[in-house]
Every structure is written in C-alpha cells, then in structure tokens.
Amino acid sequence: MKLLREKIQDEGIVLSDGVLKVDSFLNHQIDPELMKEIGLEFARLFKKEGITKIVTIESSGISPAVMAGLELGVKVIFARKRKSLTLTDNLLVSSVYSFTKQEENTIAVSSQFLNKSDRVLIIDDFLANGEAAKGLIDIVKKSGASIQGIGIVIEKSFQKGASELKNSGYRVESLARIQSLRDGKVSFVEEFEEVKA
C-alpha cells in the first residue's frame, strides 16, 4: 500500500535495527484518513472470505480493525491485555510474550462474542515475531470459530512471525512489508519479491 509506505518513510523513526516507531499516525497519534484507507484495503483483500467478525488487540489494532469492520459490515472485538487475570467469567485467554517490553501478558476475549459459525479476520498493527497474532489465533481457535486470514498494517519481514504464520497455513496480508531497518533506514520488501511471496 503505497500511501502507507510513504507515510512510514516520511514519519517513521528507526530506533534500532529492530524497532520502528510510528507514533505520529498509528501507535499514539492516529491519522483517521489513513486508517480509513487501511480499512478499505483490508476489506478489498478479504471481501471474498465471508468474514463475520474481526478480532484485534488493544490499543493500536483498534483503529485499523474498526475501519475494516465498517467496510466489511462486521463487528470488531478487541482482546484485553492484562498483567494478571482476575476476572474469569467466560473468558477465552492466551498468553503473549512481548519481546519489546520483555514481559508476559495475558490476553482475553469474552466467549460470548465468538462462536463456531464465525469466520474471523485477525487484524493487528505490527507483525514481528508473531507473538500477539499467535495469541489471537489461540483465542479464536478456543472459541471454535475459523480463521480466514490475518491482516497486518506493518510487517517486519526480517523477523520470523510472517513466515511462521504462512508456514502454518494462514493467509497473511501485510500492507507494508519492511525488509530491513539497518543504518537507521527503512527498506521495504521489493515489489517483485512481494509477487513471489
């Protein structure tokens, strides 16, 4: 998605070889117009999958997920992230390790909002090692619903998440795919590689 790649080039801040900060339009300040375009693109990519529900995780997944949900005409569930779990009323839970924050979080979705007949699109802001996505997959599987695809705003293709998820048979659609953050520079996966992938 060209608009998104341009936004990343213009406003993204490379903090290290592994960390890209996009606080000006996605992770802290949000650009609603860009989120709308992202939602339209996810809807275009997954419109044939008969999606009935979108599952994301708080907080940065919410905007792209809600815009996609608006376009696909389906509701969005955001998983809650918690250090420890106190409520246990019919929750589907999973455990997510954050490499960035070096901490383990429990994520939870109320079981009443997902059922066997649901065809789920998982949406998240970043895909790196795939921990959050795997946690969401785990939760959706526990509900008995099927996973029709995974939509990612920014994929760090040099980390293992995307290839692992694809090897597990999931359709992963990432709107921007980053090849490298070396030397403080954002390099995207080349177009011809995108076609091969």
Residues at the interface with a copy of itself (CB under 8 A): 23-25, 28-33, 35-36, 58-59, 62-63, 65-67, 69-70, 73-78, 80, 83, 109-110, 113
Q: Nearest CA to 116 among 94, 135, 92, 142?
A: 142
Q: How far is the CB of 67 from a copy of itself (least distance, A)?
A: 8
User: Is 129 among the annotated ligand-binding positions?
Assistant: yes
Q: Three-state SS for 25?
A: coil
User: Is 173 among the annotated ligand-binding positions?
Assistant: no
Q: How far is the CB of 24 from a copy of itself (least distance, A)?
A: 7
User: Is 81 among the annotated ligand-binding positions?
Assistant: no
Secondary element (H or E) of residue 150:
strand 146-156
Q: How far is the CB of 58 from a copy of itself (least distance, A)?
A: 4
Secondary element (H or E) of residue 163:
helix 161-167
User: Is 115 among the annotated ligand-binding positions?
Assistant: no
Exposure on the CB side of residue 74, measured as CA atoms within 13 A? 25
Q: Which residues are annotated as a binding site?
A: 20, 27, 128-132, 156
